[in-house]
Amino acid sequence: MNIGQAAKLSGISAKMIRYYEQIGLIPKAIRSDAGYRHYSSSDIDSLHFIRRSRDLGFSVEQISGLMNLWLDGERTSSDVKTMALTHISELRTRIAELQAMAETLEQLARDCQGNNQPGCPIIAGLIEPKTLTEQQSQKRQRVQRTPRFGSSSLAPLRNRRSL
């Protein structure tokens, strides 16, 4: 099938499919004599895997690690579970950060009169240095530096043609 059909079946845009090929997340498609990309059913399976992984919030690097585990016949389920549990922890941290941001903004909005006067606590709150949001951002950066499971290299996926 061509890239348009693959995009429709997978729910991933043709542009993103080309990008995933370019970075090696999926193998380069076989080309027809006319130069059109041709995708197999195993390519569509890979695209579904990527789409579902993205829907669950995994990064491209994490998806690469998951795909390497998927393709590794000697993997253990504990490797996959550890990666999933780590991701859950990161998601919970991000949720807490978003809740803190919403609470801060709600407080600023409550403090704002919302009238025709120029003074506004929301604007004043955005000017304040080292806000709660910045503190949360620093905490998130520390979390993102934790080691990821699975290979961070996309190279093993570049030359793969079938699953």
Domains in the chain with CATH codes: 3-60 (1.10.1660.10), 76-113+120-127 (no CATH)
* pLDDT reported for residue 150: 47
Q: What pTM was estimated for this model as a whole?
A: 0.71
Q: Residue 151: what pLDDT?
A: 46
Binning pLDDT at 50, 70 and 90, where does residue 94 land? very high
Range of lowest pLDDT (10-14, 46-50, 67-71, 156-160): 156-160
Look up residue 114 and give its two tokens: 């919302």
Residue 154 predicted with pLDDT over 70: no
93, 140 in Cβ contact below 8 A?
A: yes
pLDDT at residue 131, as a whole number: 55
Per-residue pLDDT, averaged over 44-67, amounts to 96
Contact 61, 152 (CB under 8 A): yes
Closest CA to 10 of 49, 68, 54, 61: 49
Q: What is the mean pLDDT of residues 12-35?
A: 95
DSSP conformational letter for 108: H
Residue 162 pLDDT grade (very low, low, confident, very high; cuts 50, 70, 90):
very low
Residue 116 has pLDDT above 80, yes or no: yes
